[in-house]
């Protein structure tokens, strides 16, 4: 019988589900410790985080911790494998959109206007980051700030699920705001994951439910983390090529992959790509479910068909 | 010409730094060729030198490839069970 626990972390809700009830307490402790380490290392909202320290040393070679080196390596890999559609050097661009503090500290969704910040500008480009993984050394060019938000939660979910499965010897699911990673032995019938627009309501308002036995599932969308900037709604997904939100096309994109990082990299890239995302995902054989703004559903590469009619988004 | 003029010393220093960079680049390229490190190069970055910038990426996960996003081992199924273990949506 599975058992679950949840708590706030990384600006969202962290959930752990284990296949052996008596291991829930230890699993929760391991997850908390892992997420605390990721937050202290990768959060650009904490002035005392390691990445904030790195941002204060641009232009210099900086030896970073193994955890930050791994997180940066994962983010640069995502950029390379998406041709820069998911690029960690959007740090300055996303701040220009107004996302310059923990989301909980931003005005509530669409209820207040933060006013115009700096003008959006294309990301400098991931290839400008000098990174030597062997020595865990990073050189950020001046004025280049990293935002690991596109990969850090999925990275943490992958790490935590593998750690828990390895240390406790049970099946485990870790869900960080809709970024789901599973490890160890799955329950009979697989892990059943409800998919919806919003990770907070996905279970109660499921648009579809799939079963998975390994790897990761992630959903990216434009219906959450929205705010007003100079009278116009904006959200947290940035097209690195422009520094602006991508041209609206998909409401949500859900992808499964061998890891949660790969699933989330692909789902974010798909939102940025827009109409071309279905072919892009199919070419990579990544099972995905894409919901367009008009509510129409497209499934590709082996995602079970559902085709539920959804209301159109204004 | 006096070999220890400031100009000569500066030139020698630049040569040494370039040589060190070339050595580092060669080492990284060697590691990349051996597998396990992805390399991308682009000209004109800043940092501590004015030479070509090298970016390398590692992969901390157990099974991820450097070359492509990896599909799942088995595709997801339509769930036939009741209830859900968890939910995924935008956050």
Contact A139, A130 (CB under 8 A): yes
* Predicted complex ipTM: 0.84
pLDDT digits (tens, 9 = 90+) for A42-64: 998 899 999 999 999 999 999 99
Query: With contacts defined as CB-CB under 8 Å, which chain A residues touch B47?
Result: 59-61, 130, 139-141
**Those residues with Cβ within 8 angstroms of residue B76's Cβ, 6 or more apart along the chain or in another chain:** A193, A210, A211, A212, A217, A256, A287, A302, A303, A304
Residue in B24, B56, B89 nearest the CB of A133: B56
Contacts of B31 in chain A (CB under 8 A): 134
**Cβ B88 vs Cβ A195: under 8 Å:** yes
Chain B hits for A202, Cβ within 8 Å:
87-89
Residue A152 DSSP SS3 = helix
Measure the CA–CA gap between B77 and B91, rounded to whole angstroms: 24
Q: How far is CA B28 from CA A61, A65, A70, A112, B58, in A?
A: 16, 20, 17, 49, 12
Q: How far apart are CA A269 and CA A65, in angstroms?
A: 28
Q: Could you report the per-residue pLDDT of A234-288, keeping only the tens digit for each?
A: 667 889 999 888 888 999 999 999 999 999 999 999 999 999 999 999 999 999 9
The closest of B76, B87, B73 to A306, measured between CA atoms, is B76
Which residue from A4, A224, A257 is facing B69, i.e. has the nearest CB? Answer: A257
Q: Is A83 left (phi over 0), alpha (psi -120 to 50) or beta?
A: left
pLDDT tens by residue, A7-21: 999 989 999 999 999
Give whole-number Cα distances, A150 to A77, A79, A209, A239, B74, in Å: 12, 10, 24, 12, 25
**How open is the CA angle A267-A272-A274, to the nearest 5 degrees?**
95
Q: Distance (Å) from the C-alpha of residue A250 to the closest C-alpha of chain B?
A: 12
């Amino acid at each position: 019988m599975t058992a679950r626990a949840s708590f706030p972390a990384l600006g969202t809700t962290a959930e752990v589900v284990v296949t052996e009830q008596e291991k829930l307490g230890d699993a929760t402790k391991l997850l908390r410790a892992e997420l605390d380490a990721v937050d202290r290392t990768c959060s650009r909202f904490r002035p005392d985080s390691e990445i904030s320290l790195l941002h204060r040393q641009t232009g210099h070679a900086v030896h970073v911790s193994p955890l930050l080196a791994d997180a940066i390596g994962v983010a640069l890999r995502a950029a390379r494998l998406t041709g820069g559609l998911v690029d960690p050097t959007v740090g300055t661009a996303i701040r220009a959109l107004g996302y310059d503090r923990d989301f909980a500290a931003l005005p509530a969704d669409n209820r207040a206007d933060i006013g115009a910040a700096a003008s959006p500008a294309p990301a400098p480009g991931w290839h400008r980051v000098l990174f030597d993984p062997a020595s865990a050394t990073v050189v950020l060019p001046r004025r280049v700030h990293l935002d690991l938000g596109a990969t850090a939660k999925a990275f943490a979910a992958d790490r935590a699920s593998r750690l828990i499965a390895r240390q406790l010897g049970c099946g485990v699911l870790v869900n960080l705001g809709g970024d789901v990673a599973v490890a160890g032995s799955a329950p009979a019938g697989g892990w059943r994951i409800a998919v919806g627009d919003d990770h907070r309501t996905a279970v109660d308002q499921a648009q579809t439910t799939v079963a998975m036995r390994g790897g990761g599932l992630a959903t990216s969308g434009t219906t959450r983390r929205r705010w007003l900037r100079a009278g116009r709604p904006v959200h947290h997904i940035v097209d690195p090529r422009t520094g602006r939100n991508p041209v609206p096309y998909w409401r949500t994109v859900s992808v499964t992959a061998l890891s949660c990082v790969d699933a989330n990299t692909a789902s974010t890239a798909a939102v940025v790509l827009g109409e071309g995302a279905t072919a892009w995902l199919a070419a990579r054989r990544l099972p995905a479910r894409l919901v367009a703004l008009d509510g129409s559903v497209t499934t590709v590469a082996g995602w079970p068909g559902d085709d539920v009619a959804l209301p159109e988004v204004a | 010409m006096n070999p220890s003029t400031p100009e000569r010393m500066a030139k020698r220093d630049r040569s040494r730094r370039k040589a060190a960079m070339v050595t580092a680049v060669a080492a990284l390229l060697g590691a990349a060729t051996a597998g396990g490190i992805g390399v991308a190069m682009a000209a004109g970055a800043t940092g501590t030198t004015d030479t070509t910038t090298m970016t390398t990426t590692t992969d901390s996960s157990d099974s991820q490839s450097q070359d492509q996003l990896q599909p799942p081992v088995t595709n997801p199924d339509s769930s036939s069970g009741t209830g859900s273990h968890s939910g995924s949506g935008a956050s």
